[in-house]
Amino acid sequence: MERDDINVLWQKATTATDEAVMDFLAGSDVVLDRALFEFDIRASRAHAEGLARVGILSQADADALCERLDALEAAWHAGEFLLDERFEDGHSAIEHWLVSELGEVGGRIHTGRSRNDQVAVAVRLYLKDRLQRVAESAGAVARVCLDRAAQEAERPMPGHTHLQQAMPSSLGLWWAGHAEAFIDDLALVCHIRDWLDASPLGTASGFGVNIALDRQGAADALGFDRLVINPQAAQNSRGKVELRAIDALSSVTGDIRRLCWDLSLYASQEFGYVTIPDAFCTGSSIMPNKHNPDGVELLRSMHATVVGARAELEAVLSLPSGYQRDLQDTKAPVLRAFGRPLDGLALLPRLLDGLRWDFERMAEAVGASLHATDVANEAVRDGATFRAAYRMVADDLAALEQRSAIDSIAARTSPGACGALMLETLEARLRHWLPPAD
Ligand code: ARG
């Protein structure tokens, strides 16, 4: 079946269509709509039920539409219904299905709605779903980091600034530092998920309709927290909500980039602190000796996908109020951002779980000079000003003796530091954002 054989929704006797132009306008839109299809079907059900509540549809017609929408969803998941270039987009495909299954009753589904609010509501449902997944994964990453922080709290390692050895630090501080970053990301993702939890369904093309739609009832049925009230605001928020969702995601992928940078550095032969689990490594096609941490590196580069998608999306949004077809081009970057990076994110807890540290090598790397700040602070405790103590230590760095790194990190009791990691506080924050699994 060609697209020509299926009525394009807006086709009129007077419409002139050109195949090449049509192809250009459609682009890969219908293929992108695959990611939104189940949400579009769900919203169509809520819309049909809403129409029945205000007497626009008979209950029998609404029931028939919902039953056929259920069947479409089942056929879609079973791979029996194909969303492809035969249709202009996913919205047209739904209406085409309903008309071919129910005849003229199917032609009633589009009462009081437009593809403009249809796509907007589907995108919001999609983003809520994906941000929930991001939240779960970020929470799982934070969970591993916190557990390992507790288990490996007392393992000394050099702390670096400028990639130069600085002070004795601990693996506990390293893990807890990443845990806190992911807890903050989780909070941001949850905020943004709640922020965009508003239903644009029933705002139609951007001006409402002359039917007293039960918008609130439809929003409740779809699990939205509230309505986008103004139809113009609904249209103008398209792209804007996606942008904020990508921002929240980029907070996570940015932190993954940094974490993975640490790991690839620590896994190098020069450091030799950590071994990356085999499942995340590959070999070389030419060098038989190689064991490359490709998994770490591709997790690191995911951030580029997200940041690139954000830039592309932002560039589309230079638009006046209301619906513009440009908005169609917001979909590809959003789907790209929430595509592969989510797969990578879901793998990260497993990678972290499998890390094996060389505790001895890390402790041995803590040389005498790293104790300089501790020695200066001890002189302060004995009455010297910090500046005088600093100079005294700086003037004779060679006199610094090797000390116990374990004692050094245990004595670092300023809140949050190696000797007082405050893991319970981080744990409480994590629990606040991530309800414990039952
Ligand atoms: N594919 C379109 C989009 O993503 C759907 C809305 C079409 N609306 C219209 N007035 N042509 O924006």
How many A from CA of 305 to the centre of ligand 1? 25
| pLDDT for residue 47 | 98
**In the predicted model, what is the mean pLDDT of residues 146-151?**
98
| pLDDT for residue 438 | 56
**In the predicted model, what is the mean pLDDT of residues 251-272?**
98
The CB of 120 under 6 Å from ligand 1? The reply is: no
Active-site residue set = 162, 284
How far is C-alpha 338 from the chain's CA centre?
6
> CB neighbours of 397 closer than 8 A, spacing ≥ 6?
369, 372
Q: Whose CA is nearest to atom 3 of ligand 1?
A: 328
> CB neighbours of 410 closer than 8 A, spacing ≥ 6?
154, 418, 419
Testing ligand 1's pocket by substitution, the residue of 95, 319, 328 carrying the most ligand atoms inside 8 A of its CB is: 328
| pLDDT for residue 29 | 92
How many A from CA of 205 to the centre of ligand 1? 10
Please write the tens of the pLDDT for every residue from 163-200: 999 999 999 999 999 999 999 999 999 999 999 999 99
The CB of 93 under 6 Å from ligand 1? The reply is: no
Q: How many residues does the chain have?
A: 438
pLDDT reading at 15 higher than 90? no
Please write the tens of the pLDDT for every residue from 293-340: 999 999 999 999 999 999 999 999 999 999 999 999 999 999 999 999
Q: Which fold has domain 5-111?
A: Fumarase C; Chain B, domain 1 (1.10.275)
How many A from CA of 119 to the centre of ligand 1? 7
CA–CA gap between residue 197 and residue 187 (Å, rounded): 15
| pLDDT for residue 287 | 86
Intervals of CATH 1.10.275.10 along the chain: 5-111
What amino acid is encoded at 199 in this protein? S
| pLDDT for residue 384 | 95
| pLDDT for residue 26 | 84
| pLDDT for residue 18 | 85
CA–CA gap between residue 347 and residue 33 (Å, rounded): 26
Q: β-pairing, 274-275 with 356-357?
A: antiparallel
The CB of 92 under 6 Å from ligand 1? The reply is: no
| DSSP letter assigned to residue 292 | B
Q: Whose CA is nearest to atom 10 of ligand 1?
A: 116
How many A from CA of 190 to the centre of ligand 1? 29
What amino acid is encoded at 354 in this protein? G
| pLDDT for residue 300 | 98
CATH architecture of 116-364: Up-down Bundle (1.20)
The CB of 204 under 6 Å from ligand 1? The reply is: no
CA–CA gap between residue 330 and residue 27 (Å, rounded): 13
User: CA angle, corner 414, sides to 408 and 416, nearest 5?
Assistant: 100
| Nearest alpha-carbon partner for 236 in 329, 317, 123, 315 | 317
Whole-model pTM: value is 0.95
Intervals of CATH 1.20.200.10 along the chain: 116-364
Q: What are phi and psi of 220, to 5 degrees?
A: -60, -45
Residue with tokens 């103004």: 230
Contact 425, 178 (CB under 8 A): no
Q: Whose CA is nearest to atom 5 of ligand 1?
A: 115
| Nearest alpha-carbon partner for 322 in 233, 257, 392, 403 | 233
How many A from CA of 247 to the centre of ligand 1? 24
Contact 210, 161 (CB under 8 A): no
The CB of 236 under 6 Å from ligand 1? The reply is: no
Testing ligand 1's pocket by substitution, the residue of 30, 34, 85, 115 carrying the most ligand atoms inside 8 A of its CB is: 115
How many A from CA of 7 to the centre of ligand 1? 16
Confidence of residue 204 (pLDDT cuts 50, 70, 90): very high
Testing ligand 1's pocket by substitution, the residue of 9, 29, 36, 116 carrying the most ligand atoms inside 8 A of its CB is: 116
pLDDT reading at 56 higher than 60? yes
